[in-house]
Amino acid sequence: MRLGQTSFIYLVSKLGASALGFLATIYFTRTLGEEIYGFYAITLALVSWLGIVKSVGFGKAIVKRMSEDEEPEAYLAAGTTIKAVLTAVVIIGVLLFSDAVNAYVGQPVAEFVVLLLIVSIFSGLVNAALKGSHRVHIYAPLSTLKEGGRSVAMIALVILGWELTGMLLGHAIGTAVIALIGLWFVRPSVVVPRWHHVVRLFDFAKYSWLVNMRKKTFSDMDIIVLGIFVPAGLTGIYAVAYTLAKFLDIFGSAIQNTLFPEMSKRSASEDIDMVRTLTNDALAYAGLFLIPGIVGAAILGDRLMLVYGDGFEIGAQVLTILLIGILAYTYNKQLLNTLNAIDRPDLAFRANVVFIGANLVLNVVLVWEIGWYGAAIATASSAAIGLAFGFYYTRQHIGFEIPSGEISRQVFAAILMGGCVYAARAIGEPSPIATYNEVFVVLLVGFGAGVYFLTLFAISSTFRTTIARNVPFDIPFTAK
C-alpha cells in the first residue's frame, strides 16, 4: 500500500474519530457545564502523566524493534512484561495516596485513575503491536471506533445521571473494548522473551522515554498546572480549546505514524536518501491543515468556541495561541520522528529535554503571573524552542531541505482564505442566519476550506500531483 494512501486512511479515520469526539464534547459541556468537564480533563491529564512512569519509553521501543522484522513477537512479550510490572508499581502508589489524588482533582476519582491506568497500558500495547507490525491502516480505523465507543458509552451513562462518573467509566469501557478488537488483529503468539530482547528495548527506551514525556508535556502540562492555579471551569474551557486546536493536527499525526515504520526500515537498510526524501515530504505537508486553522481561528474563534455553550467564547484567544504552538510542535515531531527512525534517540532525547524543561518552567511562571492565558503562551513558546533544537540535530544527520516553497504556498492560500472568510462574516453578521451560530459557523468554515484547498490546488503542482497519486480516481488537470 502506498504511504500516501496509508496516510489518507489514517487521516479519514482520525477525522471520523475527532468528529465523534467533537459532538460528544459539545453534549457534555452543554449538559454538565464547564466545571464538570474541567474535572474530567484534569483526571485524564493526571492519568496521562502517571502513565509516563509505567511506560518509560517502552511503547516506542516496541514499535521500533518490531518494525525491524526480527523476532517481533519476542519484543512484544518483553515489552508487555516490563510495562505490566511498572504499571503495578504506579497503581500501588495511587492507592496509597488516594486522598491526595482526590484533593488535587477536587472529586473522589482515585479508583477511576487506577482503572484508566490499567486500560491505557492494555490499549497502548495493542497500538504498539499494530504500528510495529506495519498495520497502521488497521490501527487508524480502530482509533475511530475507539472514539465512537467511548462517546456512546459516556453519553449513555451521563443520560443515566452518572455525570463525571459516567464520563470516566465510559472512557474506560470504550478504550478496553476496541483494544480487545485490536488484539484480535495482532493475534500474538505466546513467546518467552530472552534477556537480549529486554536489553535491546532498554537501549532504545533509555532515550525514547522522553518522547512520551514530550507528548504528555505538550498535551497535559498546561492542564496539570491550571488544575493547581485556576478554577475547574476555566480549565474546562481551556481543555475544550486545546481539543479543538489538536483536531487540526490530525494530518501531521497521520504523516508521523505512517512514515516511522517505513523510515525505520529504510534506515536499517542504510537507504538514507529515502529517509531524507520522506523527511522533506513530512515537513511539506505537516502544516496543511494547521496553517489555515490559525488564520481561521483568528477570525472565527469566538463563534467556534460558542458552539460548546454560553461562556466558552472567552477561550477564543487561547485557541489561536494554541494553534500556533501546535504548528511548531507538529513540525518538530516530524523531525524527531526522523531521529528516532535512524536510531538516534539520544539526539531526540536532548531536544526533548530542552522542550520539557522550557514547558514546565514557562507554564508555572506564566500561569502564576497572568493566569490561564499564560498556559497557552507557555505551550507555544516551548514548542518553538523545541523546534529549533529538533531542526539543528536532524539537519546535522540527514541534510534535508526546508520545503519553503510548498509552505509559502500554503501560507498564501490561508491568507487569501482569511480575507474571504472575514468578508463573508462581515456580510453575514446582520442577516438572520447569524443568529443560528452553529449553522453560520459551518457555512463559514466550509466556505473557507473550499477557498483554501482550491487555491492551493491551483498554485501548487506538488499538491496536485500528490492528490492525483493517492486517490483511487482520476482528477482533471493532474498527472499521476
Residue whose cell numbers read 534535508: 400
Distance CA 218, CA 225 (A): 12
Confidence class for position 235, pLDDT limits 50, 70, 90: very high
pLDDT value at 477 more than 70: no
DSSP 71: S
Q: What percent of the chain has pLDDT over 70?
A: 89
pLDDT value at 27 more than 90: yes
For residue 417, the model assigns a pLDDT of 98
DSSP 343: T
Selection from 285, 296, 341, 410 nearest residue 8 by Cα = 285
Q: Which of 86-90, 105-109, 166-170 shows the lowest mean pLDDT across its residues?
A: 86-90
SS3 173: helix
Decide which of 99 and 3 is more confident. 99
Phi, psi at residue 476, to the nearest 5°?
-60, 150
The mean per-residue pLDDT over the stretch 174-190 comes to 85
DSSP 56: T
Residue whose cell numbers read 505490566: 84
- Give the end-to-end CA distance of the chain in Å, rounded to a whole number: 16
Map out the domains of the chain as residue ranges. Answer: 3-402
pLDDT value at 70 more than 80: no
Q: Return mean pLDDT, the chain.
A: 86
CA dihedral 232, 235, 236, 239 (to 10 degrees): -160
Tell me the angle at which helices 272-285 and 404-428 cross, rounded to the nearest 10 degrees.
20
SS3 451: helix
SS3 134: coil
pLDDT value at 471 more than 90: no
For residue 1, the model assigns a pLDDT of 44
The mean per-residue pLDDT over the stretch 347-369 comes to 91
For residue 474, the model assigns a pLDDT of 58
Q: Classify 156 in phi/psi space as left (phi over 0), alpha (psi -120 to 50) or beta.
A: alpha
pLDDT value at 480 more than 50: no
pLDDT value at 104 more than 90: yes
Most confident stretch, 28-32, 149-153, 396-400, 460-464: 28-32
Distance CA 244, CA 21 (A): 10
Per-residue pLDDT tens over the stretch 387-396: 999 999 999 8
Q: Which of 5-19, 167-181, 285-299, 354-368 shows the lowest mean pLDDT across its residues?
A: 5-19
User: The C-alpha cell of 417 is what?
Assistant: 482564505
pLDDT value at 210 more than 70: no
The mean per-residue pLDDT over the stretch 309-324 comes to 94
Q: 248-280 b/e with 16+ CB inside 10 Å = b?
A: bbbbbbbbbbbbbbbbbbbbbeeeeeebbebbb
For residue 346, the model assigns a pLDDT of 81
For residue 218, the model assigns a pLDDT of 78
SS3 163: helix
SS3 477: coil
Residue whose cell numbers read 491526595: 100
Q: Which of 49-63, 99-113, 268-282, 322-336 shows the lowest mean pLDDT across its residues?
A: 49-63
Distance CA 334, CA 253 (A): 9
Q: Distances from the Cα of 146 to the Cαs of 140, 244, 273, in angstroms?
A: 10, 18, 37
DSSP 220: I
Most confident stretch, 46-60, 138-152, 320-334: 320-334
User: The C-alpha cell of 213 is what?
Assistant: 514525556
For residue 9, the model assigns a pLDDT of 62
The mean per-residue pLDDT over the stretch 184-191 comes to 78
Confidence class for position 49, pLDDT limits 50, 70, 90: confident
Confidence class for position 134, pLDDT limits 50, 70, 90: low
User: The C-alpha cell of 288 is what?
Assistant: 496543511
